[in-house]
A = this chain, B = another copy of it.
């Protein structure tokens, strides 16, 4: 460790270059940073001396000159208490991985931000050249802070207070919800319940609106259970229990998030409800566990890797000042499995 200290103290500074040349620090700084009104021969002399002496610009100087740090941030959604480890949700982990790979391809690092990040100081410390913001809430504080700082942002799903925001990749949850409802209806369900978070995420809002519209169009009863904020990222066991314990019982359930799957399945076990014989189940969001579990669960795969890749690519264009066309609607896929019945769906 002593060696390290010594090595560090020998680092060449801009002052060393100035002393070596008999020039002022500000002249050397201007020469290296492109400012001022110096002769090109002076600049060249400074550059050569800096190279010979092994001067490397500090992070601050580089960032100042280019306005870049070579990092982009990937900001996961937070629940109201800010404590939920969203990376434990498989889709976000897959999204983060795809974002990192897309960033790496462009030579950028990817910073995963802590859920506690707040305000402009927090973002300044991260020092990202741009931010991919996952699932903003309505009037998202992070988005507002970043705009005040002039940091380019691309969101995955919308801040619903900004209907015209173009820098967004969306899985189109209205369409996805209709796809799930149509599928369950084709499989014979007539009392389809919805389990969704009581949150201002646009995906939740779009899901609930689409469900209500679809119910009206089909003359179906609306059976909606909104999960209160305090339980928003729990496994939804309590909520599923109440919803499925009602009389008459729903004959199908759409759980709007993959993380509700374990609680829904546990509630079915505890109530003695057979899947798919007594209840069809479909979830908004896919996972390995949904695919390989018992029973396998029908799901909307909103392709989180594709979404994150598209978001990073859009963000890099914003950072580079290139033209950006948005919003982008990314494709989602219906994965039909045993939980929605054993029949064949036409066209599925």
Contacts and interface: CB of A to CB of B under 8 A. Distances in A.
A118 to B, nearest CB: 9
A331 B121 CA distance: 39
A147 B292 CA distance: 46
A125 B63 contact: yes
Contact of A116 (B8, B58, B104, B292): B104
A301 to B, nearest CB: 16
Nearest to A98: B87
A126 B85 contact: no
Interface string A100-139: 1101100111111111110111101111000000000011
Nearest to A64: B60
Contacts of A97: 87-88, 93, 96
A60 B127 CA distance: 9
Contacts of A39: none
The range of chain A's interface size is 35 or more
A10 to B, nearest CB: 9
For A107, A120, A127, A148, the residue with the greatest tally of chain B CB atoms inside 10 Å of its CB is A127
For A56, A58, A109, A115, the residue with the greatest tally of chain B CB atoms inside 10 Å of its CB is A109
For A73, A110, A111, the residue with the greatest tally of chain B CB atoms inside 10 Å of its CB is A111
A80 interface: no
Contact of A147 (B7, B103, B126): B7
A38 interface: no
Contacts of A179: none
Contacts of A88: 97, 101
A114 B56 CA distance: 19
For the residues of A in contact with B, the DSSP-based class is helix
A125 B59 contact: yes
Contact of A110 (B62, B112, B139): B112
A131 to B, nearest CB: 11
A150 B110 contact: no
Given A71-B125, A127-B69, A8 B101 contact: no
A127 to B, nearest CB: 5
A145 B1 CA distance: 11
Contact of A148 (B8, B69, B127): B8
A4 interface: yes
B63 A4 contact: no
A149 B1 CA distance: 12
Interface string A1-19: 1101101100000000000
Given A125-B63, A147-B7, A100 B112 contact: yes
Contacts of A110: 111-112
A125 B57 CA distance: 10
Contacts of A116: 104, 107
24 contacts: A1-B139, A1-B140, A8-B120, A8-B150, A56-B121, A58-B124, A59-B125, A59-B127, A62-B121, A62-B125, A63-B125, A69-B125, A70-B122, A71-B111, A71-B125, A87-B97, A88-B97, A88-B101, A103-B114, A104-B114, A104-B115, A107-B116, A110-B112, A127-B127
Which 8 residue pairs of A and B lie closest in terms of their CB atoms, listed nearest first?
Answer: A1-B139, A59-B124, A104-B114, A8-B150, A111-B111, A70-B125, A100-B112, A87-B97
